[in-house]
Structure 1
């Protein structure tokens, strides 16, 4: 069964729905996201573009999408899976 592709606009909306995540657009029209807290300003997501690419830093999961350096390829994630991964990423980086 094929999952529905989540567009860049939808991915950005999900990422921006978190109060403590700040979006930054670079010169290549790619979006990166920083966790911004009292003592933190940490890159947690990068490479989001129109082609569907995007990576979220999370070392607590292990699956076929997780690289050895902790960046999870979320190109084929559903909206709910993306939200769940972000919740885990944010909570693990705030503690």
Structure 2
């Protein structure tokens, strides 16, 4: 089965489809994403750039081959996998 990986534009669209996530672009043309809950902002995704890199924080999941610090590289994720991980991250930060 052939896997289709997503571009930066597609990743940004997925991240921005969540109403409680705020996108911030830095001076290196990288995007970070903050969960806005009750006017408190928590970094949940970082390092999204044209090279395909990007990381989502989720220290509660072991199935995503995350690093010891909880950041999961989504470089080669499909759109579905990216959306599922992000939804899980948002849900786990709201409870």
Alignment of 1:65 with 2:68, yes or no, is no
Structure 1 runs not aligned, ≥5 long = none
Aligned structure 1 segments of 4 or more residues deviating by more than 3 angstroms: none
- Note the alpha carbon deviations across 1:59-78, whole angstroms, 9 max, x for none: 11114630000000000100
Aligned to 2:36: 36
Structure 2 runs not aligned, ≥5 long = none
TM superposition score normalised by structure 1: 0.94
Cα RMSD of the aligned pairs, angstroms, is: 1.2
Give the total of aligned pairs: 95
Q: Shift of residue 32 of structure 1? A: 0.1
Aligned to 1:47: 47
Aligned to 1:25: 25
